[in-house]
A and B are shown apart, each in its own frame.
Chain A
């Protein structure tokens, strides 16, 4: 028995078959139920976990059709238009689905009809029923009002005037019904009978292209998966070529025997179509994920989908047949590194308009070598780049705090600073170069920085700055290490 908290009382939320046989009912108080049957087991309901489970199931149902939608908290809609023949007809598909769910340990009921409403009613009130087109009215007529997916208050109102079955509503005049109970009654009825179209909204976006291979013997090893990727990508290539497109984002879905689905996505910075390239990308990703993929008892369905397509015109190869495009080489290289080590693994710096050294550069995942890359905002175009001289070649971001001391030596005062627990004596210094805070971005109390180039005794050159705090002239300024010169 599951309990839930409902307006400050513990109520029974759901019951299993055994508890139902004890004449317990959902909605009754837990105390009452325990009084009736003291040794009953009460478990707190977890709606979040239920939802996750339902989402997992909906992902798994992806193997039947890409259009899977959640229905409330306890149901799934599968739009199997054009998919049933792949599983040997509607009956074959339903049997397959029921037996697979049974073996995973779920008790489910399924209904199949031409409209979502009728299928909903068939599943809940019929039980594993296939409704032929045109027979919806016959199915619904004897069923109670709940089969029409009506909210309980409307249902109560209808029942109070003696309309207890769907058939009674069908035969009742429509205009008074709408006037008294609202449009929903008629809308639900029309939806169930197919007079009004009802669309289901799939949980996952439907990929433009996908190809799959069901396996009679589940596979476990990565090598086998990669071999299948090769096979599937060859099939994809035919479709992509026909459409004149290439894939920018690909997803490999691995359906495990026990219902878990692993989805592995790789991106390409320029559209790809060649099976060899696709294979390489997945090879890196799979190698990186080797530990993360739990094959369990094996995968029995492997699907390769193209999530994002982009137009790709066939390129004319050179006579020597070699890949002569260095940009393509680099793009593939960057994609492979990113597939293996994550999106940020290969970056390219861009200059942006800012005086603050650490803000003057943004590094974006490498896109220059991809086709149709989008320019990042506020990047300084090459013609207007005015690089300040005397900038370090390596930068610490954020700057590191250093402790600066001045000592009065013979002749002139010399400066020492302590950075990372080592002490440096400054022999020469240049500066200051003042960089004012950017008032349009910073807080008003941001302090100006005075930059110095300094050289220590051994010839190492650093870029350190002094942060001037003008509000508090008494306190000694703070110093920071920002960069290293060659």
Chain B
């Protein structure tokens, strides 16, 4: 055992040296094994969650970790909507999952009262999160909410866990976040800690993002942008902590399928001709019950390809 530990140290030193010679940061280790000494129980999908925005992915050295604790800060409680929206958009980017793993949204009563309760119709319309895939846990006290999060973090039955709290608390210190982080790592699931109106504090999360709303782009019509309209949501992302430690800020737009970075000018048309359906299915459900004919799967979409080969989707990803 001791020799293994020494060997691991040696390997790490060597990696650092090589990285130094090559002039880049030695950022990518197999962190799960390093932290816990145990391989994660199940590895599903890629180890990183790519946001699809090249510069942001580069700043995060490849993307957000797809397991473990991720902190998302909102400046004020009234911006908690943007922070939660950003997280939900990220979840949409997760590889089309093992069917219907639900999202667990944990919040204290305080934040639900101050920032508003999660509203299922809006979540379904904007982020394709079906009501049956949403569980909402509410606790009066922060400690209880933390307890729920810790219990949930160790399960791999959830798609992700979103813990939302307001303000700073001594209960959520380095030890508590480390516990959350390790449990989520072992389960192989992301745990988003959304903190509103709180100062950046020491945290065990490898990534901390500051999210603020940004003015939305205008709606696009066939005749061009519609002046004065409010289009898809936009977020202002500041990377406050990451492995590469490159401070960076981005303005992202969410167009229901992918993120897209807005540089100076408002976003242009993504070239997406057909948007995916909100629930991610390739074929729309029949609007009415078909009485005369037996129902055929995928009938309405005709020769529309499946989700993976959807040209619109491929295009959108590449553009981002």
The yes or no answer to A21 lying at the interface (CB within 8 A) is no
A484 B81 Cβ-Cβ under 8 A: yes
Evaluate contact between A461 and B101: CB separation under 8 angstroms. no
B122 and A483 contact, CB distance less than 8 A: yes
Complex contact B157–A394 (CB within 8 A): no
Q: Which residues of B (192-241) have their CB < 8 Å from a CB of A?
A: 212-216, 228-230, 233-236
Nearest-Cβ distance from residue A74 to partner chain B, whole angstroms: 44
Residues of B within 8 A of A348 (CB): 131-132, 134-136
Contacts of A461 in B (CB 8 A): 81, 213, 216, 230, 233
- 8 Å CB contact of B144 from A341, A357, A485: A341
Complex alpha-carbon distance, A349 and B136, angstroms: 8
Contact (Cβ within 8 A) B124 A484 = no
CA distance A351 to B213 in the complex (A): 28
Chain A nearest CB, measured from B227 CB (Å): 9
List, in ascending order, chain A residues with CB within 8 A of B234's CB: 459
Query: Does B84 belong to the interface (CB within 8 Å)?
Result: yes
Check if A214 is an interface residue, CB within 8 A of chain B: no
Asked if A430 is an interface residue, CB under 8 A from chain B, the answer is: yes
* Contact A395:B115 (CB < 8 A) given known A347-B136, A483-B122, A486-B86: no
Nearest chain B residue, comparing its CB with the CB of A338 = B137
Q: Looking at the assembled complex, report how far the CB atom of B283 sits from the nearest CB atom of chain A, in whole angstroms.
A: 13
- Hey, which chain B residues are within 8 Å of A82, CB to CB? none
Is residue A290 contacting chain B, with contact meaning CB distance below 8 A? Answer: no
With both chains docked as a complex, state the minimum distance between the C-beta of B133 and any C-beta of chain A, in angstroms: 9
State the majority secondary structure of interface residues on B. Answer: mixed
CB distance A388 to B116 under 8 Å? no
CB of A421, distance to nearest CB on chain B (Å): 12
Q: How far is the CA of A482 from the CA of B157 in the complex (A)?
A: 33
- Number of contact residues on A: which range applies? 35 or more
A204 within 8 A of partner (CB)? no
Residues of B within 8 A of A453 (CB): 230
Interface residues of B in 121-167 (CB under 8 A from A): 121-127, 130-132, 134-140, 144, 147-148, 151-152, 155-158
Chain B residues near A390 (CB-CB < 8 A):
125
Across the interface, which residues of B come within 8 angstroms of A228, CB to CB?
none
In chain B, what residue has the closest Cβ to A337?
A: B148
Indicate whether B298 reaches chain A with its CB closer than 8 angstroms. Answer: no
A408 at interface, CB cutoff 8 A: no
Taking a contact as CB atoms closer than 8 A, the residue among A333, A385, A430 that contacts B152 in the complex is A333
Q: Is the CB of A350 within 8 A of B155?
A: no
Q: How far is the CB of A290 from chain B (nearest CB, A)?
A: 14
Cross-chain contact B230 with A428 (CB below 8 angstroms) = yes
A 368-401 contacts with B by CB, 8 A: 368, 382-383, 385, 387-397
Q: Chain A residues near B88 (CB, 8 Å)?
A: 393, 486
Q: Are B233 and A329 in contact (CB under 8 A)?
A: no
- With A368-B132, A461-B213 already in contact, the answer to whether A455 and B230 are too (CB < 8 A) is yes
Q: Does B293 sit within 8 A of A, measured CB to CB?
A: no
B81 touches A349 (CB 8 A): no
Known contacts A350-B131, A484-B81: A388-B136 contact under CB 8 Å = no
Residues of B bordering A, CB below 8 Å: 78-82, 84-86, 88-89, 101-102, 115-127, 130-132, 134-140, 144, 147-148, 151-152, 155-158, 212-216, 228-230, 233-236, 254, 278, 285-286
Hey, which bits of chain A sit against chain B, CB under 8 A? 326-327, 329-330, 333-334, 336-337, 340-341, 344-351, 357, 360-361, 363, 366, 368, 382-383, 385, 387-397, 420, 422, 427-430, 453, 455, 458-461, 483-486
